Structure 1
Amino acid sequence: MKFARRLLLFIFGLMVVVAGGFAFWLYNSVHTAVSHDHAADYITIDNGLASNRILDILESKQVIQAPLATKIYLRVFHRDERMEAGDYRFPSPITPLEVLELLKDGKKRTQTVTIPEGWTRFDIAERVASQFPAEPPVTDEEVLAMMDDVSLIRDIDPEAGNLEGYLYPTTYEFALETPPKAVINKMVEQFRSVWRPEWDELARKIGRTKREIVVIASLIEKESKVDSERALVSSVIYNRLEQGIPLGIDATNVYIAKMLGRWDKILHKSDLEIDHPYNTRKIQGLPPGPIGSPGKSAFEAALQPAQTDYIYYVLNVEANDGSHHFYATASEFLKGKAAYQKWLAGQR
C-alpha cells in the first residue's frame, strides 16, 4: 500500500514536471523572436488556405521556425481565430505570436506616393501615371484629363475648371491595384479633411472666397518654403492687391509654360512677356486659378496675413535657407535686388 502510494506520487510528480516542461517549451517557442531573410519581401497568402497550410508556407520562408509549437498553440488557445488572405511583410526578427497577430489583418500590398507641397497637377499626373500603372496603361495626359472632373469640388468651388489646388500634398499609401482615378479622388478627400470649418469664417472676414484663398495659398507655397515667413509673403500679396500693383510672381509664368506644354526648367524672356491671364507681371489682381497644391501652413498664411507695409521681397542669400528680405519702399528694394544680383553674378 505504501509502495503504491509512493508510485502514484512519483507518477503525479513526473506528470507535473512533464507538463511544466511542455508549458515552458510552448511558451518559450511562441515568444522567441527569430531572424529570417524575407523581411523586405511580400509573402502572399491566398484565399481559402487552412491555418496549417499557411504555417507551412511561413515555415518554408523561415518566418516561423517553431511550426509544431505554433500549431499546438493555435489549436489550444485560438482554434476559432481566422487567418486572412493578403500580401504580408514580416519584420525580422519576429515571434510566432507576432506572426499570428499580423495574419489577422488581411494586408494588401501597398504603394506609397509622396506629393510635395507646391506641385502642380502636371507634376502630380506624371507621378500617378508612373507609380500606379493601370490595365490598360494610362498616360500622363490621360491622368491629367481625369483631373478635369470638377464634380469632385463643385460644392466648394463652382468656378473651377480642373482640380488644381485641391489635390492635397502629402504622403499616401494605396493598394497596388488602386486605379489612378481613385488616387485623385483620395487627394481631393484629403483636401476636404485638412480644410477646417473655421477657415470659411476667416475667409469671409477678409473678404475672400474659398477659391481665392486656395489661389493665394498656392502663390505663397511657390514663393516661400520657410513656414515662419509665409505670413509676411502673404502680407506682400495682399498689400499689392490692395494697392493695385501687379503681383509679379514668376511662378505664374512657369505655370503658363507648363500649361502650354513647353516648360524646360528654364524661364525664358518670352515666358515673362507673354500676354496671358496667368502672367502676374502684366495683370492686376489674382491669376484665374491656383498654380499648385498648397499645404496647411500656406492656407493658414493666406487666411491670416501679417500686418505689414511690405510690398517687395528678395531672396536672403546670406541665410541660404530659402528665406527673404522684405521691403516697404522701392529704394530699399532696389538696394536689396542689386545685392542679390551681385551675388547671383558671382555664382556663374
Structure 2
Amino acid sequence: MLLNYLRLLLLPFSFIYGLAITLRKKLYDWGIMKSVKFDLPIICVGNLAVGGSGKTPTTEYLVRLLADYKIAILSRGYGRKTKGFILADDTATAETIGDEPLQYYQKFEGVTVAVCEERVVGIEKLKENHDLIILDDAFQHRAVTAGLNILLFEFRKLGTLQFLLPAGNLRDVFSSRKRADVLLVTKAPVPLLHVAQQASINELQPNNTQKVLHSYLKYGNLQHLYTEESLPLESLKDRQIFLLTGIANPDPLIEELGKYTEHIKHEKFPDHYSFKTEDIKKFKSAFDVSEKKEKIIITTEKDSKRLKAAGFKDLLVNLPVYFLPIEVDLFEEDKITFDELILNYVKSNRRNR
C-alpha cells in the first residue's frame, strides 16, 4: 500500500515522460526522425508495458510456425554485460547475450540469434543470409519500420488503470497501439468466455485493419536443471515447492503450481535479476531446514539460463532443481487467423535469395 502511495507522488514525472515520448512519436510520424525499411520480412513482437506480457513464448511460437524459413531473432539482449552486435554461439552465456536470447539459441537449432542495441545495425548484418528477422521487444524502436507489428496485452491488466513510468509500468502511451497490425491478448483464461473476449476487444478499440486475437499459456513437464530427467506437474501433488523467480510477473506460474499444492514458498527477484552467490546460499538454507519430506525447487526456464550460467552448480547440483517450460497457443479460430496472417505476410514479402 505504501508503495502505491509513493508511486502516486511520481505522477508529475510520468506526465513529463508522456510528453517526451509523444513528441518522439510525432517526430517519427512526421518524418523528421527517420525510420529504415528493409526488403525482407521483419516481424516485431512488443508490448506497451515493462515485461511480463509473454513476448518470449510468443517469439518461440513464431519460430515453430515459420520453421521452413531461415530465421534470425534479433534482440537488445537486456541484462547482458556486453555492448554492440554479438552473434550467439556455443560460448554464449546470459551475461554475454542475455537470458532470453540464450534460451532461443539453446532451444532452436538452425535459428540464428543475435543481440544489438541498434536494431538497424543488427538487421544490416543479418539480412543477406536470412529469409526473415524477428525483432524481440522492439515496438518502441522506431528507427526500424517493421513489416508486421504484433503488440501484446496481458489479459488481466486490460481494463485496469495503468500509469506511465515511473509511477506505473507503461513505457509507451496507449494510443501507440494503433501502429500495430495484430493486438494479441496473452495469458487469457481457459476456457475463454465470449463476454470476456468481447470485453478485451472493446477495451483495445481496434481500427478496421487490426486483428484482436487471444492466446493462453501451456505448461510442459518439469525439466531438471542439470540432467535429462523430467517430471509431470501431477507429481507436485502436496509437495513443498520452493519457487525461485526473477521475472516480471510470476503470478500465472504461482496460480498454475497452486493447482497441485498449497505449499509454495516463493523467493521473488526483479525481472532479469543477476543472481548472486549469497542469494542462492540463503535460498538453499531455507530448503535444507524445511522438515517437509517431499520438497522440490522450481524456477522458470528464463531464470534457469542465469542459474546455469552464473556458476551455481556446486550449490545446486545435488538438489531437486527443476524449471517449468511454457508455450503460447491461440484459441482455435484465432489460431487459424493468426497463423494464416503470419504465413501470408512472410510468403508475400520474402525475397528471392
Q: For this structure pair, what is the TM-score category when the shorter chain's length is used for normalisation?
A: under 0.3
Normalised by the length of structure 1, the TM-score is 0.22
Which protein has the bigger strand share?
2
Normalised by the length of structure 2, the TM-score is 0.22
Larger Rg: 1
Between 1 and 2, higher relative CO (CA 8 Å, sep ≥ 6) is seen in 2
Which protein has the bigger helix share?
1
